Amino acid sequence: MTTAPLAARLSAPSGPLFFPVTAYGPDGTLDLDVYRTHVRRGVEAGAAAVFACCGTGEFHALTPEEFETCVRAAVEETAGRVPVVAGAGYGTALAVRYARLAAGAGADGLLAMPPYLVVAGQEGLLRHYREIAAATDLPVVVYQRDNAVFTPESAVELARTDGIIGFKDGLGDLDLMQRIVSAVRLEVPGEFLYFNGLPTAEQTQLAYRGIGIDLYSSAVFCFAPEIALGFYRALETGDLGTAHRILDGFYKPFVELRAQGRGYAVSLVKAGVRLRGLDVGEVRPPLHEPTEEHIKQLAEIIERGHALLEEGE
């Protein structure tokens, strides 16, 4: 674990937030050596934090034992250089179990994903996340998406809950997010973190920055850290010319390709990691691999992205 509080480490990141894929061998079992290499390379490339076993890391496909093993490996590979945040999800009892496994493995915090399947009311959602937060001493970031969508009033209650330090948005409703940010700012003293958690968040990050949300997930960092860093630095320095060039020439075609297949937000990323020379294996079902034509298009998009970076040098 890192020694500084997680909120402080995340509020002033030195680079993109890294969501590593989970590596599998040819037989579909966990390939821990490759996973370690993937995490280590991401940290060395400039990641500000490692979010292990979250959406891009196929949390849904891991057994509790595999989850604990991967989180521990991520903690060991980062060696305290950056914080490690682990996913937690499913129903409340299982989410609590995963939270405790993450704590035992040395994680610095939790990303609490939506509960499994059911569409709950606000009261039930609040109880769910409060029980996750109370289960360990790890700080919690709540992930809003799918069947876990909050009113501004409920977001205020989350922000008042001991142990909950932030809110990640995967819904994309900027009007709702502005009302959530305003409500929490008016009613809860102190800092509360917000993250843009949409797939390929760079594509919408200029809009999110407009309402004060500077932190975002970067799945692209998994397979093209140079491009992700180039975009991140352009945002940090106000270089809108570079940001727009990368958005138009790389992120736009990548997002359009991602939209060609269900589950491509994960499987296309894993394909990208393989294209860069690290065999992290295929996705587990029910996800499926991109077509050969789509992988070819991805390779061309990555090449174009690197060319765009050279244009700015």
Helix (H, G, I), strand (E, B) or coil at 166: strand
Whole-number Å distance between alpha carbons of 232 and 235: 5
Predicted local distance difference test score (pLDDT) of residue 312 = 67
Whole-number Å distance between alpha carbons of 250 and 217: 17
Quote the pTM value.
0.95
Does residue 71 surpass a pLDDT of 50? yes
Does residue 2 surpass a pLDDT of 60? no
Mean of all residue pLDDT scores within the chain? 96
For residue range 188-218, list pLDDT tens digits in order.
999 999 999 999 999 999 999 999 999 999 9
Whole-number Å distance between alpha carbons of 91 and 113: 10
Environment class of residue 70 by beta-carbon count within 10 Å: exposed (0-12), middle (13-18) or buried (19+)? buried
Please report, rounded to a whole number, the percentage of residues in the chain having pLDDT higher than 70.
98
In the numeric block, the tokens 């040395």 are attached to 106
CATH 1.20.120.10 fits 6-238, yes or no: no
Catalytic center residues:
143, 168
